[in-house]
Amino acid sequence: MRINIRHDLHFTYEPPARAIIHVLRLNPRGHEGQHVANWRLDVDVDCRTKMSEDAYGNSVCTFTIDGPVDAVNISVEGEIETFDTAGVVRQAVERFPPELFTRDSPLAHADDALRAFASEETKDGGDTLQKLHALMGALTKKVTFAPTTTLDANRQKPSKAFAAEKGDAIDMAHMFVAMARFLNIPARFIAGYYLVPEAGTATAHYWAEGFVPGLGWVGFDPAHALCPGEAHVRVACGLDYLDAAPTRFANVIGAVESADMKIKLISAQTQTQ
């Protein structure tokens, strides 16, 4: 699928900030399932910009603004070709062995309830791939997907959303990752976009990847109960949301009054073979 999308972020500060540092993970990288034809990032105020790569291989843009500044607009726009690989992620930038992603992390920690659920849903055994599919299917039935557009980095732990049986895509990805790691399966958190071409919409979205011997990394989207395909655009990965969040304030001197995000699907065309 050939996709054109635009992602706009608007931040206002009251009182005006004396200095701002933003860290953005908004630039997708290519792999076997997606090719980035073109992509650009713009900030509407004078700033010092640095492009780099983080420990996970994500493309990172850090910019610093000297104030006073009362508003900042950030936009990214580009064209990507996506391909259905049945969720398998090959030829992505890999900086660490899969075993790193068995580590516990603050937002992807399995409490007793999540551990019991994971054990129960995989008690019939099976290989790694079967266990991961079982986890996704059971989680989708247990927890109701409730989409949100919040930019809040102070995320709740997955145990709270699991107990409420309701969560957004971030919550559901964290729950999946936490349970997979409890089963000693390497799992990581993914940030990107999810497209609904027939509705003409695109949203920020989050899912997980689990490592399957013989296949490599495979994506699982528990919010939609499917493996990512052409409708998913992969942008960043990490142990949890804090590693892959689209935007984070490294330092803000001043108060954030509001933060708004809009994502527009400009066009989407299925490619003929």
Q: Are 47 and 170 members of one domain?
A: no
Helix and strand counts by DSSP (H, E) for the chain = 5, 13
**Domain for residue 108, yes or no?**
yes
Nearest to residue 173, comparing CAs of 128, 222, 216, 135?
A: 222
- The whole-number pLDDT of residue 89 equals 97
Nearest to residue 132, comparing CAs of 148, 143, 121, 142?
A: 121
Helix axes 169-182, 128-142, angle to 10 degrees: 140
Q: Could you tell me the two tokens for 7?
A: 């992602």
- The whole-number pLDDT of residue 169 equals 95
Q: Are 143 and 87 members of one domain?
A: yes
Stretches where the chain sits below pLDDT 70 are: 149-155, 250-251, 254-257, 271-273
Write down the residue that tokens 């790691």 correspond to. 181
Q: Are 182 and 264 members of one domain?
A: no
Torsion over CA: 263, 266, 270, 273 (sign) = negative
Q: Are 141 and 219 members of one domain?
A: yes
Q: Are 253 and 228 members of one domain?
A: no
Torsion over CA: 240, 246, 251, 257 (sign) = negative
Write down the residue that tokens 């508003």 correspond to. 71
Distance of alpha carbon 39 from alpha carbon 48, whole angstroms: 20
Q: Please report which helix (H) or strand (E) contains residue 234, including its range.
A: strand 232-238
Q: Are 88 and 136 members of one domain?
A: yes
Query: Tell me, what CATH number does 15's domain have?
Result: 2.60.40.2250
Whether the Cβ atoms of residue 5 and residue 266 lie closer than 8 Å to each other: yes
Torsion over CA: 191, 226, 101, 179 (sign) = positive
Q: Could you tell me the two tokens for 198?
A: 């027939």
Q: Are 131 and 264 members of one domain?
A: no
DSSP code of residue 198: G
Nearest to residue 12, comparing CAs of 60, 56, 44, 38?
A: 44
- The whole-number pLDDT of residue 154 equals 59
Q: Could you tell me the two tokens for 126?
A: 């099976």
Helix axes 128-142, 112-121, angle to 10 degrees: 120
Question: Helix (H, G, I), strand (E, B), or coil: what is residue 105?
Answer: coil
Domain count, the chain: 2
Strands 166-167 and 256-269: unpaired
Q: Are 40 and 171 members of one domain?
A: no
**Domain for residue 211, yes or no?**
yes
Whether the Cβ atoms of residue 154 and residue 248 lie closer than 8 Å to each other: no
Domain range for 263: 2-80+247-268
Query: Tell me, what CATH number does 235's domain have?
Result: 3.10.620.30
